[in-house]
Amino acid sequence: MHAISAETRATVDEVLDYARRRAVYEDVPLDKPLTPRDLSRLASGSITADGIGARRATALFENVLAPACVTTDHPAYLSFIPSAPTKAAIAFDLVVSASSVYGGSWMEGSGAVFAENEVLHWLAAEFGLPAGAGGVFMQGGTIGNLSALVTARDAARRRNRELGRPDPARWVVVGSAEAHSSIASAAAVMDVDVAKVPTGDDGRLHGDALVPVLDAHGDAVFAVVATGGTTNFGIVDDIASIADVTSERGVWLHVDGAYGLAAMLVERMRPAFAGVERADSLIVDPHKWLFAPFDACALLYREPDKALLAHTQHAEYLDTLTGSADWNPSDLGIQLTRRARGLPLWFSLATHGTEMYRSAIAYGIDLAREIADEIEARPGLSLVRDPQLSVVVFRRDGWTLADYAAWSDRLLEDQQGFVVPSSHRGEPVLRFAIISPLTTFELLTGILDTLV
């Protein structure tokens, strides 16, 4: 299996040939899931004592397994938060795997870590963080948020030790009622409580709403989470007023910008994110609106040394790594073994330049506004809220959840789009999440035409 032979060369050629076809295919189908029964009938029996060979295995994936997966980078994939990696990023992801680079330490992967840090330092500067800021590429937003909150709690514990103050019986993290589900998930893993703050009529968390919650929980609060673009609506919290409150009280401010923070790369959108520069930590997911492949979350700290204290693992066989010339990525988050998942983004940025990224993000924002206006002009359709970023939430008047679900199923069956129902305050709604620069106004209006 490991030798360089005619068989292994043929295997590599077979896989790379399929990868090339898939990467440059101009009309990738949207595809749809199959039932467990269908997949059992069509795909069972691939694991055998002697193997089925690369050609048959590749054909099985290409013709059965891949078509049973909805294509997340398809222009008509408009549910959840899509992915739209550049061709350069997709291609370089193959290089990352082929190179067997270990991205956890400077000693073993200094070239890869340096390139990743180039991207992280650029992002930190774009978000207004100070020169000493830095971080690491994590698996995704859930792990990034968890790592940041672990760092925040560790910092609070250390502060208590310095002040000779006991820790609370239960730690508390505070966020809005609209915060991503990963915050509650992180809190459950950490065995801490979550205090949810109601948002205003605008859907945003404001600093004044934090005050009574912080008063109620006192020193038990180790972090406040602001959201830089909610998943359901793309709403940005009033981060500046939140930062005023957390700064005054000495509470860690974390900004979950997994989806929306990339919009800061568009100059006219920067005022919406005022206050991000005051965050102690933040995340943004390149596999969302920065056009990288799954899976990549950029986790940034104002003071990376605090993360090193919280996350550096110590063992006899690891001690040789702690004296590195630069920090080790594995010391900044919940991980040890890691692939250099930031390299595909680095390669795409280096290839295309940052201005193309700004233009591609701006396109999604402009298209959201254009299709929102179209929805408002159509009888029987209405917006639930004006879009702030690239998520458009709307309703078909008089429809129930069952109506939306049946329509969504037909849309996918016809391979016209992937738009699943969502909800807002108990009301079933629809939403377009626009990420791909290949999504067009005509494609979206074609989907609206089916809402009859």
What confidence category does residue 195 fall into, taking pLDDT thresholds of 50, 70 and 90?
very high
pTM (2 d.p.): 0.95
What's the 3-state SS for 371-417? Answer: HHHHHHHCCCEEEEECCCCCEEEEEECCCCHHHHHHHHHHHHHCCCC
Question: Nearest CA to 100 among 281, 343, 330?
Answer: 343
Question: 186-200, 266-280, 316-330, 379-393 — which is least confidently predicted?
Answer: 316-330
Instruction: Give the pLDDT score at 347.
Output: 98
Taking only the tens place, the pLDDT of each residue in 199-226 is: 988 999 999 999 999 999 999 999 999 9
For residue 433, give the H/E element and its range.
strand 427-433
Taking only the tens place, the pLDDT of each residue in 42-89 is: 999 999 999 999 999 999 999 999 999 999 999 999 999 999 999 999
Could you tell me if residue 256 is left (phi over 0), alpha (psi between -120 and 50 degrees) or otherwise beta? beta
Q: Which residues of 377-414 are buried (b: 16+ CB within 10 A; e: fewer)?
A: eeeebeebbebbbbbbbbbbeebeeeebeebbeebbee
> CB-based contacts of 410: which residues, under 8 Å, 6+ apart?
450
| Angle, alpha carbons 428-431-435 (nearest 5°) | 160
Cβ count within 10 A of residue 109: 22
The stretch 421-433 carries a mean pLDDT of 96
Instruction: Give the pLDDT score at 306.
Output: 96
The stretch 104-120 carries a mean pLDDT of 95
pLDDT(323) > 70? no
